[in-house]
Every structure is written in C-alpha cells, then in structure tokens.
Amino acid sequence: MSKNVLFSGDKNVLKYLSVLMNSVIENVTDDVVFHILYLKNDKDSVSIIESLSKKFKIFGYGVDVELVKPLSNVAGNTWPSSAFFPLFAAQILPDSLDSVLVLDCDTLVVKNIDNLFNIKIDDKMVLATSSWIKGPAENYKPRKINYDFNSGVYIINLKKWRDQNINLNFWMSMQSKLKAKKLTLFDQDLLNEAFSSSETKYINKSYNVNPSKYDFAKIGRI
C-alpha cells in the first residue's frame, strides 16, 4: 500500500524539496505518493513540481491564497500563506485518503519510518510528537505543558477532520481564542489550540528532532 506524504510551500522552499523527497523514498519500504500544496497560478511553483514529477509520484494542488487570507493576514507578514495550507488538507486532498503524513519542507528523514505509518491513529485528530524545542523559545509556545506538539512532523486524520467539518470558520475561532490569550497565531499555534491532549496521539520524540536544539541523551529509541 502506498504511503501518502504532504508538503506545502512556495517556490522559495519547493526548489529544495527533492532532497527531502529522496530522503523519504530511501527510508520507506512501500511506494510513496507525494502531495504538494502550492500557491495557485504561481508559474514557478508549477514548473518546479512538473520537474519533480519526472522522478517522483506527485499530485499538485494549486491553493487560492484567499482561502487562508483571513488567517495569514492576522498572523502577520512574517509567516508565508502556504504555511496555513495544510490546515485545509481535508478539503483539498481526495476523499479517498483517510490520513496523510505532513512534513515541513526543511525536514530530513534519516532513518526508516515504516513504523510511523503503521501507528494506528485511532479516533484522534492528529498523531504527533510533543514539542522538541528547548531554551528561550519555550516562552513563545501557546502551552507550557507536555501536550504541546510540534507541527514539523505530524499525521492528519483526514476522515475525522471531514466528519468534524474542520474548515475556515473553525480555524478562525481558534485564532480568536489565541488572540484573547495574547499568543502567537501561526499554524502550529492553531493546531495546538484546536486539538487538546485528548484529541492528539503522541509518539516518540525521535520521529521529530532538531539536532541543534535537543539533547540526544533524552530521546528514547523508536
């Protein structure tokens, strides 16, 4: 059975995506299908995806920036609109997909991740690791307890998102809650505000590690 992996980005990050895609291919036993969300009508992004499709199995989805503008405008210009695209994956991706692994475009897979795809998500909304960030950056997290998860690597339960009608109105309500708490309003913040510990299935931190910011001695084995 094919493994489905989702990326989102503009031309500035998509042009480096082949490195990450190769690392996925090399560390997954089954076939991999890549899904890429990009800015609609961006010719440079289309050209990059067409070039990548000569080597990888890819489905590209041009997303209208208007879909996420209510969220990105409030978050500010420091965060690209494409960062919010995965929040609408349940609307954009085919209904035939029940789940998808989301990877930030600046990640790299260095070890076999077959087990990651085999973990049952059950009735949870997402499957993710608790945040690996340490040090001063902790002050900027929406929560300071262990159910804050990192969105660099996570699996979306697409079927449940559709059933629960996770849409723009839903995300705007999460953004309002964050604003009231005077917290940051980026995609990871929205995900954490939306899905409490009871709605998230947590996995070993070794699936999502920033080597420069984490003490490897404290990471358990997969």
Give dist(CA 170, CA 190) in Å, integer. 10
| 7 confidence band (pLDDT: 50, 70, 90) | very high
- Give me the pLDDT at residue 168, please: 96
| 213 confidence band (pLDDT: 50, 70, 90) | low
- Give me the pLDDT at residue 204, please: 86
Q: Is the pLDDT of residue 148 over 80?
A: no
| 29 confidence band (pLDDT: 50, 70, 90) | very high
Contact criterion met (CB below 8 Å) for 5 and 32: yes
Tell me which of 182 and 155 has the higher pLDDT: 155
- Give me the pLDDT at residue 100, please: 98
The pLDDT of 126-130, averaged and rounded, is: 90
- Give me the pLDDT at residue 77, please: 73
- Token pair of 139, please? 């002050």
Residue 164: how many CB atoms within 10 A of its CB?
A: 14
Query: Which pLDDT tens digit goes with each residue over 54-91?
Result: 999 999 999 999 999 999 888 877 789 999 999 999 99
- Token pair of 66, please? 């208007």
Q: Is the pLDDT of residue 142 over 70?
A: no
